[in-house]
Structure 1
Amino acid sequence: MKEEKMENGSKKWGFGANEEVNTALDITIRGILTMVMDNLDAGDKRQIIPLGHGDPSAFPCFRTTHIAEDAMVDAVRSAKFNSYAPASGILSTRRSIAEYLSRDLPYKLSSDDVHLTIGCTQAIEVALTVLARPGANILLPRPGYPFYEARAAFSNLQVRHFDLLPEKGWEVDLDAVQALADENTVAMVIINPGNPCGNVFTYQHLEKVAETAKKLGILIISDEVYDHLAFGSNQFVPMGVFGSIVPVLTLGSISKRWIVPGWRFGWLVTNDPNGILKKTKIVDCIKGCLNICSNPSTLIQGAVPQILKKTKGDFFMKIINILRQASDICYDRIKEIPCITCPHKPEGSMFVMAKLNLSLLEDINDDLDFCFKLAKEESVIILPGVAVGMKNWLRITFAIEPSSLEDGLGRIKSFYQRHAKQQ
């Protein structure tokens, strides 16, 4: 057979781009926010107001505790953490996380239940990888965190969406979960406190979620990266509380509670007092996956026990109070903007979902168009709801300086007034 040649006579190149990567870029928060920011007007000299991404670490009021900074310095200077770490992480660090998480559970975790990851992102990657057998499907919330969809596509794991119900405080539609599941369903994902909804599930609702999962014979992946960032009427309850009902993979990190997302330290924890995940070889598969992955930096691993042990409650209360104040500002100012409505006041995490009423706007086609034009005209960045599975909604973060939040929401109001449909 004659080989295909290029114009210069050489053999045709045997490589090409992985189209799955390009598709994933289009559906991730980073990818869509990059598209929104491409519309910024370089001539606008006002401060850019970032209401799209949940990273408050750039703002002075959200600085992490000196305990965490000192722990990192101590880890470097000790010269004890310059070597490679075991695949699942340094034993003392895993033990400290087990103790930290066990405070909220009716049973005790051991270091064997804890696997360290490069942020919560890698924990998601590992969890979906170990579940991705041929023909399997996973149930994801809508709205949700789109990295799950992107990662599932890489693992050839089919995705099915169940709705969160705004009229019920963004509770899980459990009837939909039962209707979606079949013999190939392996797990369902919940995010608590909620990204993007700002909700905090009650104990009673989480118990119903656990009982539903048990009935279906599936495990629960509980994304708790915003653990304890709750400032409404509902207290944060970890899904692991119900580990005796259904096996739970808890995903978490220090990124949000300690305001250090760039430190890239997280964990994947098996909440499984009945040993089901061991019997089904899921634990072995997690270890095998981590054997071929990179580890978190040994420096942050070395610092974490001190961070968890020595951080005082007043630091956490300060962060909670700032978030509560900011969420109040956000909710109240949204009420002053007729074209967007918030069905449920945020009670946790750093976000709120607001519905866009296009009928009140003259020349806005959809949520993407709204965000593109808002960036260009007002230098305000917000995330279009289509990025999290809710077309013609908006996800707004309030985890910034309160004065900047006031400014940004004021600009959105001005944007509305400029584009309001004439009566």
Structure 2
Amino acid sequence: MSGQAGADPTAQLEERDVRDRRLLAWLGAGLLAGGMPVHEVQEDIHEAARGLGHPAPQVGCLPTAITVTLAAGRPATFEQVEGAVRLDQLADVCAVRASLRTGTLSPDEALERLTRLRAQPHRYRRLGLFSGAVLSGVGIALILAPAWSAVVFAALLAPVTGALLLLLSRAGRTMRTVSPLIAAFVVGAAAFLAAGEGWAPAPLWTLVGPIAVLLPGAAIVTGLTELSAGSMVAGTARLAHGTMQMLLFALGVGAAAALLRVPLEEVETARPAELGWWAPLLGVVLVTVAISLMESVPSRLVPWLLAVVLATYLAQWAGHTVLGTRWAGAFLGAVVASLGATLVEFLRPHLPRVVAFLPSFWLLVPGSLGLISVSRLEAAPEVAVAAFLGVTLVVVAISLGIVVGASLARPLRDVARRVGMPYLLSLLPRRRRRGGAST
């Protein structure tokens, strides 16, 4: 009897450790599914573990998996990342992380919230995803190729992307793998046919708008950011995956051009810019609304997202205009995005920094420029190589700007966590509870 009583504390301790490992693994999987770099996820899991009373955890992250142990030599828990989560779901994961750090949410309650995360319904249903894809196509066209022909083409072809997104939400791995090739081929063929009729004089620039939402620019920049932070395995894997997707897009465009026997002079065309200064600004607004619809962002948060996105675009435009180089604008835009997102978190603690940052990050659209550069290789190799090197500089500048912006914003983040998080946590009991599955 005494032996059984003496074993109870040990069993309870082991049960608690298993629960805490599972909680931290689910939390990390949710952050990774939201697109966060692995080094930031590791920092967040370390902070959450210390809030649970584990001062020396060890965390290993890849873009698709996380391993957590509470101390060296102790058992470990592995969790695979099953697909992406929306921005509203990522905001809930960040709220749970903040609660664990401050001890205002019990581990059992945190596990329950994460268990319900996956089945949290989309606010705008399929209509939101479809209309978001259309608005995104039109907005990117206004920013990247401000001409009426590109805008009309994006409005007509973006529903194809919306339908593809709906299909991919239910499709298997094979369909998701070839979807860049299919989307680029369909939209590319339509752009080249329109160019042949004189309706779209710049087909390469015109075709980007409808498929921009599918391009892997964010994955490529995140990979370089991870490499800059020393996460070599994760950064290399993400960079390779993004590059392969970009090549599939370029192959789809090339296949459409070859099938239609497009003259090379139609491929090598200058960027159209027939609309006024208002076009890119309107495009920024449309892209922000599109992201909010597709990512199920609450309407009360959209103005704050728009403020960060506009600040990012204006900084990018100022750097490009004043310094005369695209990479300088990309660097300044990334710095302002990091700082602006942190400032918004300080002013509105219920909007986590990463949720405010990601739409601005996506707006920098290095994937669009990369697709145009790679697709021009056959038409004008010397021009395409120079353009591709320019895009590479832009991507590197964005990743460097993110690192610099995060370093500058760290003191403000610390203040926001000490001052703003109690307000965030006070909102949690009033949140509407939803059903769900585990991360």
Q: Is TM (by shorter chain) over 0.5? A: no
Return the structure number with greater helix share: 2
Return the structure number with greater strand share: 1
Q: Which has the higher contact order (CA 8 A, sep 6+)?
A: 1
